[in-house]
Amino acid sequence: MGNKTIELDDRAWSIEDLLAVADSDVGLTLSADPTWRARIESSATHLAKRLASGDIVYGVNTGFGESCDVRIPDDLVHELPLHLTRFHGCGLGKPLDDQAARAVMIARAITLAKGYSGVRMELLEQLLALIQHDIIPIIPEEGSVGASGDLTPLSYVAAAMVGERNVRYGGETIAASDALQRIGRAPLVLQPKEGLALMNGTSVMTALAALAFQRADYLLRLSCHITALGIEALMGNRTHYRPELFVLKPHPGQARVAQRIYELLHLSREAAPEYRLQDRYSFRCAPHVIGVLADAAPSMRAFIETELNSVDDNPLIDGENEEILHGGHFYGGHIAFAMDGMKNAVANIGDLLDRQVALVTDRKSNNNLPANLSGAEGDRAQINHGFKALQISISAWTAEALKLTMPASAFSRSTECHNQDKVSMGTIAARDALRVIELCEQVAAAALLIMQQGVLIRLKRGEVQRDALQPALAAFAEDIGTTFSFLDEDRPLEQDLKNILAKIRSRYWDIE
């Protein structure tokens, strides 16, 4: 963990806070604030009081879901939470990576720390121990319909806390019981409601949505730089991005995108066009495409952060007012909506970059650049094919991203004996969004190589002078050149792409 530490209590968290802890840049400890600790204990105490008085509380001394009318005998109530964790151990698919799994655990800790879930301080201590010692539950990504929350994937967090199933620890996969023993902790014995409190919520979809937001935001900014490089490669027209133009269609995000592109282009691009009076749509309308995500991002952030800071399980135990509230806060509709919108907006940016690449590599539209931007000259040009294959791969990645834009939330399925008869599909939407972003990052990496090559060809020919590039764009292109060398003779580009992708995914370039 980093030197900075966030205290877990009922404070408000941002996406950046969550991911800083998930990336191990910031530590996490339990607050010592006595008022907050009293609220946690009052919730668990009030639940115990209600059970002792013979009250019926859903999921505590009843069955789950459609089985809510089944009364659990008093002598079996304490076994029920463990049974809940076990019968939900049916996830499949790839396990979440370490960053995502950490984000899930932290997101669950945030909602439990609000003090309305009927859990003891001992449970929060166990969950914090896993986070602090980097014990990562192996969480299969498939199996949640997003209501009643992320039951199946969150069961893997609960299982790790009670010493069951497998975890990643110290670079190896071991039994959760062994990992707990290594850090000197005993398996947690779940009390009534604690299994449900750990599992009945939206923490998986919310954590994945936060990761998607961070990556989409960076891709948005990167696409402005890629567009600017493409305009320089085509010797295109700067006037399409003038601030005066965007005052007349004042979507604020769209205007910011146009301003970014405008400032990256040299003043000479506002003189008489050297290519076309009006550039084709994939360049001229780039702010209008990228700007959709820029304008939607604040509402997406609000949806994600509100969900992150919510109490999202059922029932809720208000110890201070001595109430038990039965509701449906485990429903992930806001996350589903945000992620379905995000994957659409991001896929459109990927499609934009795909179209830009098609223009820059095609002799019919690239303003006298070589076919496929091959840097070979003379007789060597006949056997070299430049970026021909990469342009095909870009098309494949873009098509797959576009295919995934079908809204997951529209595919609600009635399940669990029609008790869960309307579900959010928020976790599927978040997973789809991450896959769309992954594909579009690949498109962006390839587009960077291609636009860079186009600019380098112009510089070699003397058609563009280095001092005719804006300093910020020149520095950006120069840094790409440290990873990718000029393509004169055909060579495999896989490693170049991986190197650029690594920089994108680590947000290597400090771009606004």
**pLDDT-derived band at 420, boundaries 50, 70, 90:** confident
The pLDDT score that the predictor gives to residue 468 is 84
Query: CATH 1.20.200.10 in the chain, residues?
Result: 208-313+325-413+422-505
**pLDDT-derived band at 268, boundaries 50, 70, 90:** confident
pLDDT at 2 over 70: no
Q: How far apart are CA 155 and CA 144, in angstroms?
A: 11
Residue of 212, 101, 89 whose CA lies nearest to 162:
89
At 6-63, the pLDDT tens digits run 999 999 999 999 999 999 999 999 999 999 999 999 999 999 999 999 999 998 999 7
The pLDDT score that the predictor gives to residue 486 is 96
Q: Which residue has the tokens 């007349």?
A: 248
pLDDT at 421 over 90: no
pLDDT at 65 over 80: no
Phi, psi (deg, nearest 5) at residue 142: -105, 145
**pLDDT-derived band at 270, boundaries 50, 70, 90:** confident
Q: Which residue has the tokens 């690239």?
A: 366
Q: What is the average per-residue pLDDT within 426-447?
A: 98
| CB neighbour class for 97 (10 Å; exposed up to 12, middle 13-18, buried from 19) | middle
Compute the Cα dihedral for 153, 155, 159, 164 and give only its sign: negative
Whole-prediction pTM value? Answer: 0.96
pLDDT at 450 over 60: yes
Q: How far apart are CA 413 and CA 411, in angstroms?
A: 6
Residue of 361, 351, 359, 350 whose CA lies nearest to 487:
361
Active-site annotation holder among 58, 241, 281, 508: 58
Query: CATH 1.10.275.10 in the chain, residues?
Result: 5-201
Cite the beta strand spans of 96-148 per DSSP E.
136-137, 140-142
**pLDDT-derived band at 358, boundaries 50, 70, 90:** very high
8 Å CB contact between 487 and 373: yes
Q: Under DSSP, is residue 324 helix (H, G, I), strand (E, B) or coil?
A: strand
| Neighbouring residues of 491: CB distance < 8 A, sequence distance ≥ 6 | none
The pLDDT score that the predictor gives to residue 48 is 95
Q: What is the average per-residue pLDDT within 169-193?
A: 97
At 143-163, the pLDDT tens digits run 999 998 999 999 999 999 999
275 is catalytic: no
8 Å CB contact between 279 and 236: yes
What six digits make up the tokens of 8?
A: 């877990």
Average pLDDT score, the chain = 95
The pLDDT score that the predictor gives to residue 419 is 83
The percent of residues above 90 in pLDDT, for the chain, comes to 91
pLDDT at 366 over 60: yes
Compute the Cα dihedral for 457, 458, 461, 467 and give only its sign: negative
**pLDDT-derived band at 386, boundaries 50, 70, 90:** very high
Residue of 95, 110, 92 whose CA lies nearest to 168:
95
At 328-343, the pLDDT tens digits run 999 999 999 999 999 9
What six digits make up the tokens of 305?
A: 């952060």
Lowest mean pLDDT among 146-150, 248-252, 259-263: 146-150
Pick the CATH number of 208-313+325-413+422-505 from 1.20.200.10, 3.40.50.300, 2.30.110.10, 1.20.1250.20: 1.20.200.10
Q: Between 401 and 2, whose confidence is greater?
A: 401
Lowest mean pLDDT among 114-123, 370-379, 418-427, 446-455: 418-427
8 Å CB contact between 450 and 390: yes
Cite the beta strand spans of 279-322 per DSSP E.
316-318
> Rounded to an integer, what is the distance from CA 322 to the centroid of its chain?
38
Q: How far apart are CA 155 and CA 501, in angstroms?
A: 33
Q: What is the average per-residue pLDDT within 421-447?
A: 96
Please list the helix, strand and coil fractions of the chain in percent, rounded to the nearest 5, in that order.
60, 5, 35
β-strand pairing of 5-8 with 27-30: parallel
The percent of residues above 70 in pLDDT, for the chain, comes to 99
Q: Residue 322 CB: number of other CB atoms within 10 A?
A: 12
8 Å CB contact between 433 and 346: yes
What six digits make up the tokens of 349?
A: 């940016």
Residue of 193, 195, 192 whose CA lies nearest to 161:
195
Q: In CATH, what is the architecture of 5-201?
A: Orthogonal Bundle (1.10)
Cα 345-348-353 angle, rounded to 5 deg: 135
The pLDDT score that the predictor gives to residue 452 is 97
**pLDDT-derived band at 256, boundaries 50, 70, 90:** very high
The pLDDT score that the predictor gives to residue 272 is 64
| Neighbouring residues of 392: CB distance < 8 A, sequence distance ≥ 6 | none
8 Å CB contact between 280 and 365: yes
Q: How far apart are CA 363 and CA 219, in angstroms?
A: 28
8 Å CB contact between 265 and 241: yes
DSSP letters for 26-89: SEEEE---HHHHHHHHHHHHHHHHHHHTT---TTTSB-SGGGGGPBPPGGGGGGHHHHHHHHT-
pLDDT at 273 over 80: no
pLDDT at 443 over 60: yes
**pLDDT-derived band at 178, boundaries 50, 70, 90:** very high
